[in-house]
Chain A
Amino acid sequence: MERKLNVTLCGVPMDNPIIPASGTFGYGYEFAELYDINILGTFSFKGTTKEPRFGNPTPRIAECTEGMINAVGLQNPGVEQVIAHELPLMRKVFHKKVMANVSGFSVEEYVYTVKKLDACPEIGWFEVNVSCPNVHGGGMSFGTSPEAAAEVCRAVKAVTDKPVIMKLSPNVTDIVAIAKACEEAGADGIALINTLLGMRIDLARRRPVIANKMGGFSGRAIFPVAVRMVYQVAHAVSIPVVGMGGVATAEDVIEMMMAGATAVEVGAENLVNPYACRDIIEDLPRAMEKYGIESLSDIIRVV
């Protein structure tokens, strides 16, 4: 039997629900050396801000059990350079609609960046990051209050007709309240979870491994937390949810979708297995057969 992998995310059709997560896939072309990335549903490109950013000092990476901590801090060349240099390179290797991940340090910066990118026809969705744990005075501070997240959402919605997906932080007391506030502010979708704030200590040196002390914990270890939060949010809002956090296998994708995800992002796993998304897509028909699934869109939020 032909298994149907296709889904529709905020009105935009996708061949399958698999999306490499922002910050783990660059602008696609490193991975295009390894396999044809057009097999992906789409991918979310590196978080883009108004101004160029170097990010945090190194070390920015720490090993954890079944995961890692990163404190990159939104390194990116700034929206002008992304449009002038990165997107033309991306277009050579990826011919589908891409997801534009944007971040900012003020509502005006989010609006500026989205406005600039809105003119790029290859962008199918905006993923608005109000959840980066690695930058001070921005990013996550918008994602920790329902009012602030809604304000960013409303402002961005006012300058684009493309679907706006708000990417939320798990480092909050009540993620459902924030998701609902975004839905009321006009969000077309919710993406979750960004990384969990974590920390490692170098015992010999008696200091944090990461120069910025703390960073975002991701990888397989966080999967159950992500499934729980996707389930909670998907059952509280009526807009599509993009689930992510520790996804590494076809079974993980099915679990995320049963919890309520319409599409599924794969993050840290890309960094240790650069073929992770290809492997998952190739393995999905087998896993679907095993669990009696004809079409992936049938299992969204069945739990």
Chain B
Amino acid sequence: MKQSFFEIVENTPLTKTVYRMRLVGDTSDITASGQFVNIKLDGFFLRRPISVCDVEGDTLTLVYKVVGKGTEAMSKMTEGTLDVLTGLGNGYDLSKSGDTPVLVGGGVGVPPLYLLCRRLLAVGKRPSVILGFNTREEIFYEEEFRALGVEVSVATVDGSYGTRGFVTDCLSLPAHKNATYFYTCGPEPMLKALCKATTISGQLSFEERMGCGFGACMGCSCQTLTGNKRICKEGPVLEKEELLWNAN
């Protein structure tokens, strides 16, 4: 973990509620995709944990959804300096991916998969991507993933774009049916459905309300088959095999 001060260089809406913020500062402590940062916002006591979408040199990209007052205030910032704790959480482990992993993102769970995708490509893997949204207007980052040269499938619940239904309805498509492993982030019902829908192994990124974000307060603990885990410290990425819902 490192505390750094970042300059806001961009903050643009991608959809009605999802924004992309680009920050410039010391990114040296961000070591893995799937990690998050914890941002101090004026007028709010607790920091806001946001997953890392991309990092390149001293530029950090965050893609976040306005879900409450804190993220709403964040969406209105156009310039200034932010106090950010970086390098939080374990992140995705690339070593288990096999040659053709599938990355499955749901809604605001999509962003951390972008850096993961870039890192997998950099080590010679051939990932494919499934993105799930409620409706066409909520889609973001489809083009960014395509620009990386990977196969992308999109599912919308209302069928207004791509495959009608859920991310799991895309698993049998030719681009993904030979997946060696999965990496996912999204709402918990989606994570559960994905674990049920496939026999391959994988890693899942979880969300929880946090106090500190760096392991001190035990606010975000969960129970697993391998003991208690702090989502902020031993998580947010957990392996499918350690989840309690796979025990039955």
Contact = CB atoms under 8 A, between A and B. Distances in A.
B228 A274 contact: no
A25 interface: yes
B1, B70, B221, B222: most-surrounded residue (chain A CB, <10 A): B221
Interface size class of A (residues with CB under 8 A): 35 or more
A209 B212 CA distance: 17
Contacts of B216: 24-26, 30-31, 270-271, 274
Contacts of B217: 23-24, 61, 70, 72, 271
B218 A68 contact: no
A54 B223 contact: yes
B37 interface: no
Nearest to B217: A271
B208 interface: yes
Contacts of A31: 216
Interface in B46-78: 46-47, 70
Nearest to B85: A274
A11 B218 CA distance: 32
B104 to A, nearest CB: 23
Contact of A26 (B40, B47, B215, B221): B215
Nearest to A72: B218
Contacts of A219: 45
A58 B209 contact: yes
B211 interface: yes
A62 B209 contact: yes
Interface in B1-15: 1, 3
B10 to A, nearest CB: 26
Contact of A68 (B3, B46, B220, B228): B46
Contacts of A72: 217-219, 221
A68 B209 contact: no
Instruction: Name the residue among A65, A68, A272 with the largest chain B CB count within 10 angstroms.
Output: A272
A58 B45 contact: no
B64 to A, nearest CB: 16
15 contacts: A23-B218, A58-B209, A58-B220, A59-B209, A60-B220, A70-B211, A70-B217, A70-B219, A75-B218, A75-B221, A271-B46, A272-B46, A272-B47, A274-B3, A274-B216
Given A54-B221, A75-B218, 7 more contacts: A26-B215, A30-B215, A61-B217, A63-B45, A67-B45, A274-B85, A274-B212
Interface of A: 23-26, 30-31, 33-34, 46, 54-55, 58-68, 70, 72, 75, 209, 219-220, 268, 270-275
Per CB-CB distance, the 6 closest pairs between chain A and chain B, nearest first, are A271-B212, A61-B219, A59-B209, A75-B218, A61-B209, A61-B211
